[in-house]
Structure 1
């Protein structure tokens, strides 16, 4: 999940392993209806990075 630059913890998975380097992004509005969300194992709506470095 893409968060504010000041975030120390991911609000989605609660990890502290945060990166500000990513390639591509996607907005998931209805994860229960999205094939992309299912493939990425996303269960919550939000703003996500496609690839994190």
Structure 2
């Protein structure tokens, strides 16, 4: 995979990770919404991690 695309997935992972923390504390500990953002963060990390040439 092109390094620029890999870096986009890394950026998406970092944003989803931060969004997970923000959503957890700003939504009065709504775990359903937190798991959605956490799942997206995990998905973006796995795509980034295993997309090497």
Q: If the TM-score is normalised by the length of the shorter chain, which range does it land in?
A: under 0.3
Give the TM-score of the pair, scaled to structure 1: 0.23
More strand, by proportion? 1
Give the TM-score of the pair, scaled to structure 2: 0.23
Higher relative contact order (CA 8 A, sep 6+): 2
